[in-house]
Amino acid sequence: MYTFLILLWGIFVYVNRQNVTYPDCKSGPLATFPVCNPGLPSRQRAIDLISRLNVTEKASLLSTAPPAIPCLGLPTYY
């Protein structure tokens, strides 16, 4: 679980360095959830996002070229 949290948080950091808003907290499907609340600790936000993924989606994020997860507004990354 902690390895996955670190991986997912690394994705957030990597994408944010590219000046991409990730996830879309203004109009995306996660906009009203805790993951988009900057007042919460990073760990709590990451846990919220992970809790919204099913097992198949979690497993797909561990590959080097995971697919997008449109229902959460998560783009493909490499």
Q: Cα–Cα distance between 22 and 13 in angstroms, integer?
A: 9
- pLDDT at residue 16 in the model: 54
Domain membership flag for residue 66: yes
pLDDT given at position 44: 92
Ranges of residues in the chain with a pLDDT under 50 are none
Assigned domain for 59 exists: yes
Q: Is residue 10 part of a domain?
A: yes
Q: What is the pTM of this model?
A: 0.65
Q: Which domain holds residue 24?
A: 2-72
Q: Is 57 part of any domain? A: yes
pLDDT of 61 reads 85
Examine residue 78 and state whether it is found in any structural domain, yes or no.
no
Q: Alpha-carbon distance 1 to 32, whole Å?
A: 24
pLDDT value of position 51: 92
- pLDDT for 39: 92
List phi, psi (to 5°) of 24.
-75, 100
- Are the C-beta atoms of residues 64 and 2 closer than 8 Å to each other? no
Q: Number of structural domains, the chain?
A: 1
Residue 77 included in any domain: no
